[in-house]
Structure 1
């Protein structure tokens, strides 16, 4: 599994990004987007029921409350992180700019949370509210808020693509380093074989006095051959995986 640690991203030291973490973040942002629209539909449903003189069911009121709570929880996790699930604090410069920069996305989200609860209490409780203002808020959910939430999802998806690119570059660099090291091993094995060959010639010239030395040179050549063949096999395996 590809992992990039804090030192590569500016995250806190105990944080790490991986494909599953990005999947969780993108899923969370997408869920937040879905929950916002669901909350808007609940409000429209409650409004229609009130206009018809019918109260919403307790189940629908409970479902609306859970939708609003889940939305807030998702937003809090995206910003503050969650150690239990391994989601880091807000690390994305793109998302940070969207939420806390000139786009003021966080203010848009907070406004939604506040007004959503406000209208939920009024409508389900049978209270009076300005219809034109309510409809403007519903339009806000479908336009301004949705735009912010979609931008957050898109920013995280872009970060994931960048993450994959960095992972590929790191893997390529690590592979190159391994191949370079194996090249040095092969070179050393080749030199050892040459040394063993020359030593073998010397042992033959020495006659009986060189027999023991000759046995050692044979063993040295055998080890050198094994190292050379093993390194070639590793190179072939790495080349196959990279290809």
Structure 2
């Protein structure tokens, strides 16, 4: 039977039952004593009145005997007037005492609600006896020595009825008094026996309830623990020390006790520790791979920087060549009016221009090839960044899982939670760095494509220039007839050279931006490499932490 009472509540209930039992015994004792005391008090009052009544009757009997004795003494020793007077006075005194005792006894009987007919009869007999005795004493002659015998014969036997009635009254009173005492003793015995029986019954009931409660509490506590408390404490100590291999003995149907839950927790902790250990080894491998990839990206960035420097030099040479061609075109334009006189010089200069233009075309072609290589290197960097981002996401997921499992482990997994949070922070930082690198690479690729387009456009525009220069060379033999055509060609060359100069400046600017991006890329890769080493250290620390657990 399941109950929602806690162990503390059960113990309080146990204590309340014990207290109520003790209180019941005490209350029953108090009530019994109170009732017995009240009855006993009433009985004792009755006994006290009975005792006074019996004492008054016995006093009356004693005074009656003394009265008879005084009468006898007066008859025997009354010849002496002093003795006669003395005993006569004693006779009267004892007569009055008997009367007072009987009056007192009658009053006590009324108070006890007992009939006083016998007292009245005895009082009547006593008065008759006393009157006859007094009459006989009045007839006593102190001078007659035989007067006493005469009077004695005259009153012989008259005291028997009064004495017999007195004895009967005393005997009856003594019996009633003894009966009352016996009844009181019986009442006290019955009361004590009843109180004892009730107390024993209550004690038996309370003891039975306490035994039932003790068995119930023991059964529930043992059911909740699943075993002996010392055994449960030993299992908890073993798990707290990192030993997860201790076998927990459970009952076949035990699924809800503390030991059963500890067994489930032990299995879960084993799985968590195994996952953390495997994840830590994977994290070490991933961090090593990330460090190697970062090194490769750094080498590629260095090569890209060298390529950018070469492109910059080529563009500088291209700009210089365009400047020279522009100057030559100006000179040709200025000297076109004297072309006939300077045809030989013009032919030589034209041949030089042809050579310079071919060099420019060659430089543009080389620059275009370098930009293509830059684009290929950027693609490689982008793929490496993708790998880094994937590793960072996996690391963040592993750290989140480790944090969840550590939170489930409670106080034991607090160290794991700190390590998992540090790994997750590092993974987020790595993800942000790779995102920044990816954006930078995208900008490099975009600018590289623009530069390649410009280079290809410049190369395509150089061919007409070469063709025009060749035509100009062929026309040098007819320079006198084609001066106007030369001037027109020079104007076209000047225009094209201006465009080429602008294009070369744009290429130079793009190369400069590419160099800056390469620098940023190199710094980001260094940060990724540092983060990878830090991640490796954290993974190794995590491995050391889980090694304290025996699974």
The within-5 A match list for 1:210-221 is: none
Query: Judging changes above 3 Å, is the alpha-carbon distance between structure 1 residues 159 and 151 closer, same or farther for their aligned structure 2 residues?
Result: same
Q: CA deviation at 1:154?
A: 0.8
> Cα gap change, 1:91/1:178 in structure 2, threshold over 3 Å: closer, same or farther?
same
- Alpha carbons 1:79, 1:90 under 8 Å: kept: no
Give me the TM-score of the superposition, normalised by structure 1: 0.58
Q: Find out whether 1:164 has 2:181 as its counterpart.
A: yes
The 1:65–1:125 alpha-carbon spacing in structure 2 relative to 1, beyond 3 Å, is: farther
Aligned partner of 1:186 among 171, 179, 204: 204
1:35 to 63, 68, 75: 63
CA distance in 2, matches of 1:164, 1:175: 16
CA distance in 2, matches of 1:184, 1:146: 57
Q: Greater helix share, 1 or 2?
A: 2
| 1:68 paired residue number | 95
Q: Which runs of 5+ in 1 are unaligned?
A: 7-14, 82-86, 212-243
Matched with 2:162 is: 145
Please state if 1:204 is matched with 2:222: yes
How far apart, CA to CA, are the structure 2 residues paired with 1:90 and 1:171? 21
CA distance in 1: counterparts of 2:86 and 2:74, whole angstroms: 12
Aligned residues: 183
**8 Å Cα contact 1:98-1:152 kept in structure 2:** yes
Look at both structures and tell me which one has the larger radius of gyration over its CA atoms: 2
**Cα deviations across residues 100-152 of structure 1 (Å, max 9, x unaligned)?**
5xxx33421232344445555x36898xx9x97874445211x1111001101
Q: CA deviation at 1:64?
A: 2.9
Alpha-carbon distance between aligned partners in 2 of 1:35 and 1:198, rounded to the nearest angstrom: 77
Query: 1:90–1:99: structure 2 CA closer, same or farther, 3 Å change rule?
Result: farther
Aligned partner of 2:118 in structure 1 is: 98
In the alignment, which residue of structure 2 is the partner of 1:109?
A: 126
Report what 1:55 is aligned to. Answer: 81
What's 2:193 paired with? 176
Name 2:46's counterpart in structure 1.
17
CA-based RMSD: 3.8
Q: Which residue of 2 aligns with 1:225?
A: none
Tell me the CA shift for residue 24 of structure 1.
Answer: 4.3
